Amino acid sequence: MAMTYTELKTNVQDITEMSFTDAQLSMFTKQAEQKIYGFIKDLPILSKTTPYNSIAPTALLSLEADCIYVHDVVQTGLSTGESFLMQKDLQLLREADPSTSKAAPESAANQPLTYYAITSDATTNQEASRLTLALYPKWNTTVSLIVRYQYQPRSIVDTDGGEESPWLGTNYDSALLNAVLVEAARFMKAEPDIIQLYDQQFALAIQPLAETVNVRLQSDAYRPKAVPAQPLTVPAPPQAQQER
């Protein structure tokens, strides 16, 4: 069942029997979402595909502001179809090909780019800073690319005005609720047994999401994946030493 942010706030305060400010609940929720997205890597719902047309390889290509990391880069518009670029270290490419521009061959349509490197723009505004791509070889022509990247989805906190709950709150609300409870218990400096209970419930609640990513999205009924999903384990809190 889906859970809105209003319902999430009510459930957290009812379970903990505590009252929190909106700022505190917002902090708990965003920390919980980051924890879940950190556990679950490469979830297809968290990836975007963006086309870039008429790109000059001699310049850096600024990616979208919500890009966390790049999955792959594909050059399109070639007479031979599409060509995937290989990622390399920027310093290595600069040493191997120090030129800033190369004359495009006559058959430029059949000369795909080979490599790309990830760097960042030179702005001093950290909020406006974003990842950029350096392309090689630096043909003095234009190309078309498709970049698939991982992004940070909108937080359920930003839907407090009654909008539809984001994907996590709609499909795995139990994992989100228990992750928020863990953050709330840590904030309250709850007893170790309470924190351990919330940790265990969170590990159980996130297991279906882990199985979805590790197994169900990587196989089908015709050719199922043989390796079962590995359960997520949450380290037990340190036990207090008894006084002698």
d(CA 157, CA 6): 9
Residue by residue, DSSP assigns the chain as ----HHHHHHHHHHHHT----HHHHHHHHHHHHHHHHHHS-S-GGGEEEEEEEEE-TTS-EE--TTEEEEEEEEEEEETTEEEEPEE--HHHHHHH---S-BPPPTTGGG----EEEEEE---S-TTT--EEEEEES-BSS-EEEEEEEEE-PPPGGGGTTSPPP-HHHHH-HHHHHHHHHHHHHHHHT--HHHHHHHHHHHHHHHHHHHHHHHTGGG--SSS--SSPPPPP--PPPPPPPPP-
The DSSP call for residue 115 is E
Average pLDDT, rounded, for the chain:
81
Average pLDDT over residues 196-207: 90
Q: Are 80 and 110 in contact (CB under 8 A)?
A: yes
Q: What is the pLDDT of residues 113-123, one digit of tens each?
A: 889 999 887 66
Q: Is pTM beyond 0.85 here?
A: no
Give the residue, 184 or 212, on which the prediction is more confident: 184
Question: What's the pLDDT tens digit per position in 54-65?
Answer: 888 888 888 998
The domains of the chain are located at 5-43+154-218, 57-141
- If one compares 84 and 171, the residue with the highest pLDDT of the two is 84
